A and B are shown apart, each in its own frame.
Chain A
Amino acid sequence: MIRLLNVSMMPPGVGQPVLRNLTLSVPQGEFRWLLGPSGAGKSSLLRLLTLETRPSAGQMDLLGVSVTHASRATLRNLRRRIGFVPQDYRLIGEWTVFDNVALPLRLRGASERDTRREAFAVLEWLDVAHLADKRPGTLSGGEQQRTAIARALIGRPELLLADEPTNALEDAQARRLLTTFQELIEMGTTVIVATHNEALVHEAPAASIVLQDGTIANTDIQGGMSVRRGERS
């Protein structure tokens, strides 16, 4: 469950807010496209939702926790329940693909045996298991993106956020990812995907949040996500 009430965000050193008076609510287990032109505030909203920053005004609740005045320990525990696929992948260059992907489970204190089993399952599903011992710097953009997706999925997050998660993927991989999102929703995960890709949105019609100049221009609630099958190869 995501609930924002009159939330504004003004990064330090910036004269005006990049997000203004956002009010929205996304129930648990639902999907939303996050749409809008460049500079509309999509990345800023994702930064708020991934707890990289706190709102400068307003009330924000994530997964039943009030974030606005939460302690560091509360935020730390909340972050472990959130998966994020950043646009720039944010992989740790000194570590192997396996260590990058295993990190969320290790932070939760999972046993090394379980971590290994889960990590290889998700890596195999994303066709990057053979790259487990490689460093991210030696991978292509698509492979790095799949590694970032694997890291976001491994902890079975209650909230999954993705920023242009298909921009380096081939069509078949993008389609598989959409199917995964649908499966996650069915398991109760809330999924929000920011994209410019209209074809992708057309392929999986779902409710959307449209941002414009840091405010919500339109909230289109048209029911659950449904991936159109067989339209792309």
Chain B
Amino acid sequence: MSAPVSPGLRSGSLPLLVALMTLLAGLSLAGLAGVQTLAESWSGAARNATTIEIPSDTPQLADRTHTLIQTLTKTPDVTTVRELSTKEVQTLLAPWLGQVSESAGLPGLSLPVVLIVAHTGTPDLGTIVQGVLPEAVVEEDRRWGERLNGLGNSLIACAWLAVSLIAAIAVLSVGMTVRRSVMAQRKSVEIVHFLGAGDLTISSRIAGRAALLSLAGSLVGLLLLSPVITMLARKLTPFSHGAPAAASPASTWDALIATWWSTLHVLPRMLLEELGALPLIAAGLGWLTAQTVVLVWLRRLP
């Protein structure tokens, strides 16, 4: 331990506070990552798909539908044109019409033909469809996509607001702890000041300790967060593509680590990076806050 040239920090509940703040920040970041993924998925799916509905009473329904599919398939930017099966249409309409058996169908009601057109750009499908089959209704999923995108962006903003709020509370907590500590050791701080200690000498010792305690508290917070993150990762596993299967481990520890690693693999890389950076951010915030509080306090002394 280095020789003392200034009083240190009386930590109080600082590590516990930072641990809880890290836990909250981690949860918010996980939520944020989830919302971001969802928003991207919504906006991507909706932006690149168009639904075309052809009423069942359209004359020469089968031939004209076939012509429309041929025309759409040849249109630039259109990647696929798929006709939904009767079962798929029934499933699609189930929220309005209720469940009906495939064999029985819907008495007195014939189902429309539904086409799903996937595309990469923004082809003018409305004009093309009107030219071939004016009875068809073009449902531009883009509008829904825009709405969903807006909702996603709002959720992301809320999540960022929560993260910012947590950071502000953490700064406030560290600041109050440091100030309380300086007040409790006021006489000692004044003694070293009047013996010729520089402001930075005094503040750096306190700030160094604050950074160390914040780092330790944050690591504990991450440890508390790990079960939640693991659980979240397990929920995401069915939706992940290409997640490596856990190899058959030789021992229980190997099994745990392999399972944990394969579980973590499904989490967004950015979330893992953000969580990994949390202890460093906590330490940096602790150091900066403590420096500022002590330097401001010392300004009252001549």
Report A's interface with B, CB cutoff 8 A: 50-54, 72-73, 75-77, 79-80, 84, 90-95, 99, 102-104, 106-108, 112, 115, 151
B187, B188, B196: the one within 8 Å of A107 (CB): B196
Cβ of A49 to closest chain B Cβ, rounded Å: 12
The answer to whether A51 and B194 touch across the interface, beta carbons within 8 angstroms, is yes
A53, A77, A91, A93: the one within 8 Å of B302 (CB): A53
Instruction: Considering the complex, give the chain B residue whose CB is closest to the CB of A96.
Output: B4
**A107-B3 contact, Cβ under 8 Å, with A76-B196, A92-B188, A92-B191:** no
B1-37 interface (Cβ within 8 A of A): 3-5, 7
The answer to whether B191 and A79 touch across the interface, beta carbons within 8 angstroms, is no
Instruction: Considering the complex, give the chain A residue whose CB is closest to the CB of B198.
Output: A76
The answer to whether A52 and B194 touch across the interface, beta carbons within 8 angstroms, is yes
**A104-B195 contact, Cβ under 8 Å, with A90-B187, A99-B3, A99-B4:** yes
Q: What are 21 residue pairs bridging A and B, where the CB atoms are less than 8 Å apart in the complex?
A: A51-B194, A53-B302, A54-B302, A73-B198, A75-B302, A76-B197, A76-B198, A79-B196, A80-B196, A90-B187, A90-B191, A92-B7, A93-B188, A99-B3, A102-B3, A103-B195, A106-B5, A107-B196, A107-B197, A107-B201, A115-B3
Give the distance in Å from the alpha carbon of A181 to the alpha carbon of B201 in the complex. Answer: 31
B159-204 interface (Cβ within 8 A of A): 187-188, 191-192, 194-199, 201
Report B's interface with A, CB cutoff 8 A: 3-5, 7, 187-188, 191-192, 194-199, 201, 302
Give the distance in Å from the alpha carbon of A140 to the alpha carbon of B194 in the complex. Answer: 24
Give the distance in Å from the alpha carbon of A55 to the alpha carbon of B174 in the complex. Answer: 36
Q: Enumerate chain A residues within 8 angstroms of B302, measured Cβ to Cβ.
A: 51-54, 72, 75
Most buried by B among A52, A72, A106, A112: A106
Cβ of B182 to closest chain A Cβ, rounded Å: 14
Cβ of A199 to closest chain B Cβ, rounded Å: 30
Give the distance in Å from the alpha carbon of A191 to the alpha carbon of B130 in the complex. Answer: 105
Most buried by A among B187, B195, B198, B201: B195
Give the distance in Å from the alpha carbon of A99 to the alpha carbon of B3 in the complex. Answer: 8
Instruction: Considering the complex, give the chain B residue whose CB is closest to the CB of A106.
Output: B5
Instruction: Considering the complex, give the chain B residue whose CB is closest to the CB of A52.
Output: B194
Cβ of A63 to closest chain B Cβ, rounded Å: 13
Instruction: Considering the complex, give the chain A residue whose CB is closest to the CB of B301.
Output: A52
**A95-B196 contact, Cβ under 8 Å, with A90-B187, A90-B191, A107-B201:** no
The answer to whether B7 and A50 touch across the interface, beta carbons within 8 angstroms, is no
Give the distance in Å from the alpha carbon of A19 to the alpha carbon of B302 in the complex. Answer: 18
Cβ of B180 to closest chain A Cβ, rounded Å: 16
Q: Enumerate chain A residues within 8 angstroms of B187, measured Cβ to Cβ.
A: 90
The answer to whether B196 and A104 touch across the interface, beta carbons within 8 angstroms, is yes
**A79-B188 contact, Cβ under 8 Å, with A51-B302, A94-B7, A112-B3:** no
Q: Enumerate chain A residues within 8 angstroms of B197, measured Cβ to Cβ.
A: 76, 107
Cβ of A107 to closest chain B Cβ, rounded Å: 5
The answer to whether A77 and B188 touch across the interface, beta carbons within 8 angstroms, is no
Cβ of B191 to closest chain A Cβ, rounded Å: 5
Q: Enumerate chain B residues within 8 angstroms of A107, measured Cβ to Cβ.
A: 5, 192, 195-197, 201
Q: Enumerate chain A residues within 8 angstroms of B192, measured Cβ to Cβ.
A: 92, 103, 107
Give the distance in Å from the alpha carbon of A93 to the alpha carbon of B187 in the complex. Answer: 10
Closest 8 CB pairs between A and B?
A80-B196, A79-B196, A92-B188, A106-B5, A90-B191, A107-B196, A54-B302, A107-B197
Instruction: Considering the complex, give the chain B residue whose CB is closest to the CB of A82.
Output: B196
Give the distance in Å from the alpha carbon of A115 to the alpha carbon of B4 in the complex. Answer: 13
Instruction: Considering the complex, give the chain B residue whose CB is closest to the CB of A72.
Output: B199
Cβ of B59 to closest chain A Cβ, rounded Å: 94
Give the distance in Å from the alpha carbon of A106 to the alpha carbon of B192 in the complex. Answer: 11
Instruction: Considering the complex, give the chain B residue whose CB is closest to the CB of A81.
Output: B196
Give the distance in Å from the alpha carbon of A90 to the alpha carbon of B195 in the complex. Answer: 11
Q: Enumerate chain B residues within 8 angstroms of A73, measured Cβ to Cβ.
A: 198
The answer to whether A79 and B194 touch across the interface, beta carbons within 8 angstroms, is yes
Cβ of B72 to closest chain A Cβ, rounded Å: 78
Cβ of B8 to closest chain A Cβ, rounded Å: 8
Cβ of B207 to closest chain A Cβ, rounded Å: 18
Instruction: Considering the complex, give the chain B residue whose CB is closest to the CB of A53.
Output: B302
Give the distance in Å from the alpha carbon of A56 to the alpha carbon of B191 in the complex. Answer: 22
Please name 18 further chain A to chain B contacts, defined as beta carbons within 8 Å, in addition to the given A54-B302, A99-B3, sorted by A numbering: A52-B302, A53-B302, A72-B199, A75-B302, A76-B196, A76-B197, A80-B196, A99-B4, A102-B3, A103-B5, A103-B192, A104-B195, A106-B3, A107-B192, A107-B195, A107-B197, A108-B196, A112-B3
